[in-house]
Amino acid sequence: MDIPKGNTKTLAGIQREGYRARPRFGRLDEGLDRVEEGVLRSREYILSLQHPDGYWCSELEADPMLEADYIFGHLFLGTGDPERLRRALNEIMRYQNEDGGWSIYPGGPSNISLSVKCYFACKLMGWSRDEPSLVKARGWILANGGVTACNTFTKIYLCVMGQYDYDAVPAIPPEIVLFPNWFYFNLYEISSWSRGMLVPLSIAYAKKPFKKIPAGQGIDELFVGGRESANLHLHWNKQKIFSWRNFFLFCDRMTHWFERIHIRPLRKIALKKAEKWMVARFEKSDGLAAIFPAILNSIIALRCLGYSVDDPQVIRAMDEFERLGIDAPHGTPDYPVPTFRMQPCVSPVWDTAQALFALGEAGVSADDPRMIQAADWMLTKEVRDKGDWAVKAPNTEPGGWYFEFNNEFYPDVDDSAMVLLALNKVNSPRERYQYESAQRAIAWIFAMQCKNGGWASFDKDNTKMIFQYIPFADHNAMLDPPTVDITGRVLEMLANYGYTRKDKRVEKAIQFIYKEQEADGSWFGRWGVNYLYGTFLVLRGLEAMGVDNHEPQVQQAAEWIRMVQNPDGGWGESCESYDDPITRGVGVSTPSQTAWALLGLLAAGDTRSDSVAKGIRWLLDNQNEDGSWSETQYTGTGFPRVFYLGYQYYRYYFPLVALTTYKRAMEAENQAA
């Protein structure tokens, strides 16, 4: 196949390419004019990206799994534009690694589940197993365990196409929706995104759909020793006979046994309730949970339940699914090959809040019409209906915001806190309405505080670690525990609205943060890569709440940030730090992570160190003429160790906030002197 290849997002490629260097200069303390120039150019660039309706929304990048699943989904359903499917395959092949596999983040090692999916997508599109790219891919896959080493979600998709045995995958029975909320193992004790993926997947598991494909499109060659001789079943923990893993494996085998002998007395009731649960969450939403895997699974579930392709529910779900796509039939400037790529979701509320906050910090007037328009747009996205969160907080009035254009069932604490920070930068003509929206959101956020004092994203006290031993929980995302990064942002927001450490809820959150600090002074970042992200948000929150920057926790964190600075003056951290904490703070310098490090140091009271001066210089030296920055690495986190994100606008608004914060600190010191 005549398709240009090569992983354009590899770490090696970034190191070869480098960033455009500009003439060096001395300390910045006496040269704030250049900082001011950088701030103004950055402001204008971000404003130029604003949508006519008032919001910002960047492309959200992810690994080629999305395009592989897009091909799988359409070929299973018998739908899709053949030319678009070919363009999706071009996008997949764009990122094949030299060793033959595919990575879940730029520069990362090849991943077995992703590589099997990409290989299968090629076969489904008619490629021969003798294609050189597939020969190379097959060699890597077999050397790394073959198909049986994949995760559960991959195996179930393979079952649908007859490439794996349903009896050999972990059972996902729809009866899980029947467990009452007071029962220890109920649906709402797992994360919101897992609910959105698993409920429709349980319908598919119960119905066990099967799509017969031509023999040449199968992947029997990816089983080590051949499919007939492969041991498809899960392995028991022989070291600990009496363990939770073995208990759940026993339950799984019993479930399969009941399936085989057709003892399923509650199956019809369970399927009806699962269907009702799923369809209800289509309302006021950009598809189920407004995320790619849940939407795709819901389409498959609808078809399994007998919905026709021209049923309004299926058409609507398909429309939401296709809306996540970005078509480039003529290629792009950096890759002149026709491609089609999918986004895991869209991020308008998040991007708008971040951009508005950055612009407000950078001095754009609170009365600027563009700021007011953005604030008005965000206010239209306030949640006014109860969603899944209300199971754990039943007596709370709805409030807050979600991440996407529409996702009423799933507001999240992180977005809500960020929107509140942004709204505080605007003088809205609808002052009373904005005030009431903010107060509802703050009350909702307090109601979502977990028992240990921290905040999670979508749920409250979603912390039962036992769920990680369930056989189908190998996507590493079954729980939504409280995290320090979200808690730090909430503290910064609350301080902006007049809350102090005198509030017991605030003090409890600070103590949670202290308990979570690593031995080297850093904090883990759940929703951004990684320790740089967690540490900067914690330090911002502590500073906002008036914690003395001479406190040992603060100074130890600042020293860690200085310690991991790169020789070029910037900071960077690879997604590898989730797999190997020893590599925390290690990676190629990026604009977003350099900004995070600087914001952490400035929050800790460090304004005059060489580390800060070099970091500011790095941002200015690497700013493009139009006021933007370039960044190829992924610095956003979906599921640690499983799924990562590239937010295109992170490289813009975080550096702007860092430059502005530095400039303000220098001016304050100069005035004091």
Distance CA 630, CA 620 (A): 12
Classify each residue of 357-370 as buried b or exposed e, where b means 16 or more C-beta atoms within 10 Å of its C-beta. Answer: bbbbbbebeeebee
Distance CA 540, CA 489 (A): 7
Question: How big is the CA angle at 346 (ends 311 and 653), to the nearest 5 degrees?
Answer: 170
Distance CA 157, CA 153 (A): 6
- Tokens 């309004």 map to which residue? 312
Residue 227: which of 135, 151, 159 has the closest Cα? 159
Ranges of H-type helices in 103-218:
112-124, 132-143, 152-160, 192-207
Q: Are 636 and 528 in contact, with CB atoms under 8 Å apart?
A: yes
Structure tokens at 97: 């690694």
Ranges of H-type helices in 545-609:
552-563, 591-603
Annotated catalytic residue within 414, 474, 485, 568: 414
Is residue 385 annotated as a catalytic residue, yes or no?
A: no
Structure tokens at 110: 């090849």
Ranges of H-type helices in 162-311:
192-207, 244-260, 267-280, 292-304
- SS3 category, 407: strand
Distance CA 288, CA 235 (A): 33
Distance CA 542, CA 577 (A): 24
What is the helix (H) or strand (E) element at residue 351, kind and residue range? helix 348-361
DSSP E strand boundaries for 332-413: 339-342
Report in angstroms the alpha-carbon separations of 537 from 487, 495, 534.
8, 14, 5
Distance CA 57, CA 343 (A): 12
Structure tokens at 136: 């190379």
End-to-end CA distance of the chain: 68
Q: Are 75 and 541 in contact, with CB atoms under 8 Å apart?
A: no
Distance CA 460, CA 437 (A): 21
- Residues noted as catalytic: 414
